[in-house]
Structures are given as C-alpha cells and as structure tokens.
A and B are shown apart, each in its own frame.
Chain A
C-alpha cells in the first residue's frame, strides 16, 4: 500500500516571500502521479499542481513549482511571491498510473496548514 507523509502540520510565511512545503511518499510502483491540492477555509479543494513520475522535469504552474526527487521519494511544493489568497490547507496526494477500474484512489497526506503573514 502507498503512504504519503507531510511532516509539517503548520507553516507560515511573510507575504511576498517564498515557502516550501514538504512531502514524502512510499510506493513499490514505478509509474504514478503526485499532486498538490489546496483547501482554503470553508472553500472547495482545488488542484494546484501535478507531476507524472516518469517525467524528470519538475512541474510548474505560475508561482507554484515542485521539486520531485524520485529516488528519494520526495515531492515538495514551492510557492513564490506568497499572497494572502494562498492561505489554506495543502494536501500532497498519490495516485497509481494505472488507468483501470479500482485504481482511481487518491491517497492523501495529513496536510500542512499554511498561514500568510501580511
């Protein structure tokens, strides 16, 4: 079974600064997908960024980028130029790359609550 670990329950960052959220995972599969989801207080969970394990290039989405270290099973999220709207719970998640029935499951980490200091 796959496990996802987020060792930082809470983080804070000054507005406009950069912050990195950590995530490690354990799997015996060679092909899989990793995700960062954002859940603002009382608002819907949304996908921030996704990484395909067979791609060596780190994914980026505007101010969000990842550092994917496959051998180390590490998948950190870097938020640059932090904004007040970035305040949320951030979940790291794992999914098998198999596209068949029974493999649709997302396995989430325990989350990191990010606070932005004005």
Chain B
C-alpha cells in the first residue's frame, strides 16, 4: 500500500461550522504534513508531525487545529473559517524526517468556505 488517502474529497462549509479533514497512510511513515494550496499556486506548508509530535507550525491561525491520534492518522480540525481559507488541502507523509525520505502526497480535500 503506497497511498495517502484523504477524506472528504470535497467540503463546503459555512463560517460558523466545525468540520474535520482526515488523512491516513499505512506505509509505516513517521512524518505527516498538511499543506494548503490555492489555485495556480504552490503548496504552502502548514504543519508537520514527526513521530506523532508537532514539529512545525508555520504560524497558522488557530482556526486550524491539527491532531495526530496515531502514526497512521492525521486530522485537521476547522472552526470559524473565512472565505479566503478556501483552497485545496493536501496531506503528505514520509518514512522519516531525512531529506532522502520522499514525501508521498494525497489527492487533497477541496474546501470551499461560504
């Protein structure tokens, strides 16, 4: 299994809603990542979990809350989002934190905030 899966594929939410994005991998990877990608832009790193500990938080607003319940699962909890938060949210994982460890990307969740 060399896949990173993300659910849901699409999500539409209002500014007062609370929702969660889910990412899962069964490759035994110990590092997992959340990226935000706006249309026609490169991915921007949001969070990195290494060995289930938050390693990087790129000054992301607190309305985005990551959670790593175990080494295979990464969640992104969303609350009180703004329309400008609409984007493709990509999850990735890698074997470890060495630069030689390839990052495998999921297909993304396309989020629309109304």
Binding site for B on A (CB under 8 A): 32-33, 43-47, 50, 52, 91, 95-106, 108-111
Contacts and interface: CB of A to CB of B under 8 A. Distances in A.
Given A104-B48, A104-B56, A44 B97 contact: no
B55 interface: yes
A104 B105 contact: no
Contact of B99 (A45, A99, A108): A99
A103 B41 CA distance: 22
B43 A101 contact: no
A43 B107 contact: yes
B45 to A, nearest CB: 5
Given A98-B99, A101-B50, A105-B48, 19 more contacts: A32-B99, A45-B105, A46-B105, A47-B102, A50-B102, A52-B100, A96-B99, A97-B99, A99-B98, A101-B55, A102-B56, A104-B50, A104-B97, A105-B56, A105-B58, A106-B45, A106-B103, A109-B42, A110-B41
B49 to A, nearest CB: 9
A44 B42 contact: no
Nearest to B108: A44
Contacts of A109: 42
Contacts of A33: 99-100
Q: Is the interface of A mostly helix, strand, loop or mixed?
A: loop
B47 to A, nearest CB: 10
Interface string B24-63: 0000000101000000111111001010010110100000
Nearest to B55: A101
A109 B40 CA distance: 12
B90 interface: yes
Nearest to A33: B99
A47 B103 contact: yes
A103 B50 CA distance: 11
A101 B48 CA distance: 9
B42 A111 contact: yes
Nearest to A9: B40
B31 A104 contact: yes
Contacts of A98: 99
B108 to A, nearest CB: 8
